[in-house]
Amino acid sequence: MSELTVHSWVERALPEMTADLRRLVELETPSDDTTLLSSGITAIERWLTERLGEPGERRLHDGAKYGDALEVAYPGTAPGTVLVLCHYDTVWPEGTLTDWPFTVDGDRASGPGAFDMKLGLVQAVWALRCLGELGMPRPTVRLLLNGDEEIGSPVARPIIERLSKDTLATLVCEASADGALKTVRKGVGLFDVTVTGVESHAGLDPDAGASAIHELARLVEQIAALGDRDRGTTVNVGLVEGGTGRNVVAGSATCGIDVRVSEPGEMARIDAAFAGLRTVDGRASVTVEGEWNRPPMVRNARSDELFDIAERIAADAGWDLGQVSVGGASDGNFVAALGRPVLDGLGAVGGGAHARHEHVLLSHVPGRTALIAGLLMALADS
């Protein structure tokens, strides 16, 4: 059967897919609420079984203080395995649905987590259902749903790195960039710089103190200067806090830093710079805590081949598929850093990630779902 047949099948399924999107959005799954994450993944697994039947394999990875990761495998009709990554956690706290319910207004569907990334999960599941009902060939699909992506995937990372080994490809159903796939992503580092000074009365005995705030202010200039736009490195000091009162020479001050890098070598440069931070006043000291949340996603030959396949599938369906480099990171970064084939941004078309105008465009759902299905068929042929 042709790609057009797949697309037509998915078009007919759009009302059911929209209903499924509502169903998932109305499951509140904030990254920092393990109770809601647990009930959420239980409900999602029940929905998976309704749509795809019982998986051939199933394993629930205990997230402890984070969200659990559900791994399910659906046996294919062709050799090889494809790993599909979707996260079910969102940045939205419990109760967001009260004043921002799921709504559909013409082509636009909106709700917390619709774009990032519950529609991507819906599209991945319906691509599998489509191929099954049409009797089309595909490899075994191993689907990993994690509840900790928005906070760096501390639970899912080792699972992803293990499961992506010896696969035909890893497909990441994160939202697209205005329809384009995300073939390059920046790596992310999250750090806290803390200065410990000496407290004293600002009026009666100012010289007895060593101000942590004054020292941190000097360091912030050095930290911000580490950014290098030519290399694709940005450094943002986004949080500053310290001191106990206006009339107290501050004994402690901290800043929170977000670092984004395009080149793996920049991670070592930033690490060395942080290790070399020093205070001017010898009575004060500085400490750095934090880590690299994700390595950068850089292009490799095998991923380029995957994009070429996706581009041909889109062209055969009559639309252009672009590719872009973005500053945000995803679980695909872990796969790319190991030199393995990965395609990211296969999910929703829309916008407003992490914002109140988050939305998806329903008219793009059939094409995006057919693209995932087409990739699976093409990988079966490979």
Mean pLDDT score across all residues of the chain: 97
Query: Is 192 found in the same domain as 44?
Result: no
Looking at the whole model, is its pTM more than 0.95? Answer: no
Name the amino acid, one letter, at 285: S
Segment 255-304, tens digit of pLDDT:
999 999 999 999 999 999 999 999 999 999 999 999 999 999 999 999 99
pLDDT digits (tens, 9 = 90+) for 27-77: 999 999 999 999 999 999 999 999 999 999 999 999 999 999 999 999 999
Q: Is the domain of 219 the same as that of 74?
A: no
CA distance 191 to 49: 41
Give me 150's structure tokens.
Answer: 């928005």
Backbone φ, ψ for residue 97 (5° rounding): -65, -20
Residues 205-219: pLDDT tens digits?
999 999 999 999 999
61 shares its domain with 170: yes
Number of domains in the chain: 2
State how far the alpha carbon of 193 is from the alpha carbons of 213, 236, 286, in Å.
12, 12, 7
From CA 84, how far away is CA 81, in angstroms rounded? 10
Give the DSSP per-residue string, 295-359: --B---HHHHHHHHHHHHHHHHTT----EEEES---THHHHHHTT--EE---S--EE-TTSTT-E
Nearest to 348 by CA among 357, 356, 360, 358: 360
Q: Hey, how many other C-beta atoms are within 10 angstroms of the C-beta on 280?
A: 10
Do 288 and 302 have their domain in common? Answer: no
Please indicate, yes or no, whether residues 277 and 197 belong to a single structural domain of this protein.
yes
Q: Rounded distance, CA 341 to CA 368, Å?
A: 20
Of the residues 294, 329, 345, the one at which a domain ends: 294
Structure tokens at 281: 């006043």
Tell me the pLDDT tens digit for each residue of 129-173: 999 999 999 999 999 999 999 999 999 999 999 999 999 999 999
Boundaries of domain holding 120: 3-185+297-381
**Are both 336 and 204 inside the same structural domain?**
no
Asked whether residue 219 falls in the same domain as residue 262, the answer is yes
Spell out the residues 6+ positions from residue 217 whose beta carbon is closer than 8 angstroms to its own: none
Residue of 349, 263, 341 whose CA lies nearest to 307: 341
Average of per-residue pLDDT across 322-338: 97
The reported pLDDT for the residue numbered 231 is 97
Q: CB within 8 A of 338, min separation 6: which ones?
A: 161, 164, 165
Do 307 and 222 share a structural domain? Answer: no
CB 21 within 8 A of CB 109: yes
pLDDT at position 382, please?
Answer: 78
What's the pLDDT at 309?
98
Q: How would residue 126 be classed by pLDDT, with cut points 50, 70 and 90?
A: very high
Tell me the C-alpha distance between 174 and 354, whole Å: 13
Residues 204 and 159 both lie in one domain: no
Query: DSSP character for 117?
Result: I
Q: Could you tell me if 270 and 373 lie in one domain? A: no
Whether 2 shows a pLDDT value over 80: the answer reads no
User: Residue 233 is part of a domain; what is its CATH number?
Assistant: 3.30.70.360
CA proximity to 300, closest of 136, 164, 143, 160: 164
Dist. CA 160–CA 206, nearest whole Å:
54
Looking at per-residue pLDDT, the higher value among 377 and 382 belongs to 377
Q: What's the rounded Cα separation, in Å, for the pair 297 and 185?
A: 5
pLDDT at 1: 43
Domain identity same for 262 and 165: no
- Domain termination site, one of 294, 313, 330: 294
**Residue whose structure tokens are 């705030």:** 213
Residues 6+ apart with CB under 8 A from 349: 175, 176, 178, 179, 360, 361, 364, 368
Q: Which of 261, 294, 327 is the last residue of a domain?
A: 294
Res 3: pLDDT = 58
Residues 327 and 289 occupy one common structural domain: no
Residues with a catalytic annotation lie at 89, 149
Which residues have a Cβ under 8 Å from the Cβ of 261 and sit 6 or more positions away? Answer: 186, 187, 189, 231, 232, 233, 267, 270, 296
Of all residues in the chain, the percent with pLDDT exceeding 70 is 99
Q: Report yes or no: 87 and 44 within 8 Å, Cβ to Cβ.
A: no
Mean pLDDT, residues 313-325:
96
CATH of the domain at 52: 3.40.630.10
